[in-house]
């Protein structure tokens, strides 16, 4: 993985979304269910599908995730495969921005740009259509969960390699104990729900 990317980002890091009402946070946490031992023993998976079935609550979550960036001049919302697509598309509509999917290798039909990134054991890669983001675009990166931050950081590198400005990140959930925010240090990071 190359480290030769230049980042054009806000240096402001944020904590929990301050615009979200405590009642919304509580209702979201009650709705998202824990699935123990998925995808492997010892993991507690945060399943958002009950939230997706609750139309008013889903809409409120999308609005709250978009709100901090309404005046940021976002021109592209980049969403990360695959659950990031669920939130990226409606957030793009909320912000009046184009939607750009970032996918695993071999999933996009036209010419792509690629970035490889390190995993605990081995490497992985992400791809984006080469013409999806241009210099001068202001990009918001969206995913459902911020865990270790490796995928989000790789997405930022992929976007920044185009000359676009990565304005920030927004997540539905941040797993604080995995310290993913540290990998995104110096960048604006918003998360609606926090789990310690």
Q: Where are the beta strands (DSSP E) in 103-184?
A: 112-118, 123-129, 138-146, 165-175
Q: Which of 14, 27, 83, 138 is catalytic?
A: 83
Q: Which of 120, 138, 187, 190 is catalytic?
A: 120
Active site residue 76: no
Q: Which residue has the tokens 């979550």?
A: 61
Active site residue 27: no
Identify whether the C-beta of residue 24 lies closer than 8 Å to the C-beta of residue 193: no
Distance between CA atoms of residues 52 and 181, nearest Å: 25
Residue 159: burial class (beta carbons within 10 Å; 0-12, 13-18, 19+): buried
Going by C-alpha positions, the residue among 11, 20, 140, 7 that lies closest to residue 71 is: 140
Q: How far is CA 90 from CA 68, 109, 132, 141, 160, in A?
A: 15, 23, 18, 13, 23
Catalytic residue annotation: 83, 120
């Amino acid at each position: 993985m190359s480290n030769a990317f230049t980042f054009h980002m806000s240096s402001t890091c944020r904590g929990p979304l301050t615009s979200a009402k405590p009642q919304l946070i509580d209702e979201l946490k009650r709705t998202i269910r824990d699935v123990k031992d998925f995808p492997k023993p010892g993991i507690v998976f945060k399943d958002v599908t009950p939230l997706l079935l609750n139309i008013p609550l889903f809409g409120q979550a999308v609005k709250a995730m978009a709100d901090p960036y309404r005046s940021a001049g976002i021109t592209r919302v980049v969403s990360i495969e695959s659950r990031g697509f669920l939130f990226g598309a409606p957030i793009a509509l909320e912000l009046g921005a184009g939607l750009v999917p970032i996918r695993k290798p071999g999933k996009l039909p036209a010419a792509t740009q690629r970035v490889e990134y390190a995993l605990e054991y081995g490497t992985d890669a992400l791809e984006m259509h080469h013409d999806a983001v241009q210099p001068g675009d202001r990009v918001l990166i969206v995913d459902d969960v911020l865990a270790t931050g490796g995928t989000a950081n790789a997405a930022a590198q992929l976007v920044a390699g185009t000359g676009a400005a990565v304005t920030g990140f927004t997540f539905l959930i941040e797993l604080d104990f995995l310290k993913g925010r540290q990998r995104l240090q110096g960048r604006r990071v918003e998360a609606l729900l926090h789990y310690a």
